[in-house]
Amino acid sequence: GIRTVPGDGPSIAAFLARRPAVALHGVGPAAARALGAHGLDSVGRIAAAPPATLRRILGARTGRTVYDRARGIDPTPVTPHPATRSLAAEHRFPYDELDPDRRRAALLALADGLGSGLRTTGRAARALTLTVRYADGTSTTRTRRLPEPTAHGPALTAAAYALHAALGLQRARVRAVALRAEDLCGAERATRQLMFDPSGGAPDDRARRIEAAADRARARFGATAVRPAAAPPPVRHGPGPYG
């Protein structure tokens, strides 16, 4: 059902105060554990904490955002989204591929391309599907839910690698691999997920700045202008083996 909360400040604060820290949009398990270690295990306690304490625990930007959200302040615009869609990419090997390292290299390129496509269209994926097509024409498909919505290349790559490893293909003769980013949502749902990092989030911020620069280069010079060093020749984006 739907629960309605009066829009006045005191009512919002009272409703939020009893909620656990993870109920705040953007507070993941790692951030919740860090907050809990300091006794800040509810939204009410977070709202009552000094902003400087939250900045020290979570980093400047994340601490400020969590503090505001705990007090019912979130300037993120509410916009409707079209029906959930997906984005797919496929790599067809020039011959039946037995080498798992080459298959992983293809998955790296696919995940990198999907991430770029998602960011360009302002979307994020909540699930990733891997399809492996074999030399005899059969195929295997597996799907993994992602911990949080993301358009971040490394997160998509890690999920793709995990799906591939779980298949235990060993020396299978693989003709093609494809990835599909599914259950898409607006990029603002991808938590700017207050990525918690004990060092203050700098490594993650750097990675995202690099991705943004790569996206600008692709927009100007074409999709293959920037690609992972280990990637095979350019892949084909589109519906892939899913139709």
The residue with tokens 């690609």 is 227
Token representation of residue 137? 């024409």
| Dist. CA 107–CA 112, nearest whole Å | 8
Token representation of residue 132? 């492996």
CATH superfamily to which 87-242 belongs: DNA polymerase, Y-family, little finger domain (3.30.1490.100)
Q: Is 18 helix (H, G, I), strand (E, B) or coil?
A: coil
C-alpha 174, offset from chain centre = 27
Prediction pTM value: 0.54
Token representation of residue 45? 């306690």
| Dist. CA 46–CA 67, nearest whole Å | 7
| Dist. CA 160–CA 179, nearest whole Å | 8
Average pLDDT over residues 12-20: 83
Instruction: Looking at the structure, give the CATH architecture of the domain made up of residues 12-70.
Output: Orthogonal Bundle (1.10)
Domain positions in the chain? 12-70, 87-242
181-212 pLDDT tens trace: 999 988 876 655 444 444 444 445 666 666 66
- Where b means 16+ CB within 10 Å and e means fewer, 150-163 reads bbbbbbbbebbbeb
Other CB atoms within a 10 A radius of the CB of residue 66 amount to: 30
What is the residue-averaged pLDDT of the chain? 80
Work out the pLDDT band at 28, boundaries 50, 70, 90.
confident
Token representation of residue 234? 């350019």
63-120 pLDDT tens trace: 899 999 888 887 776 666 555 578 999 999 999 999 999 999 999 999 999 998 898 8
Work out the pLDDT band at 219, boundaries 50, 70, 90.
low
pLDDT score of 9 more than 80: no
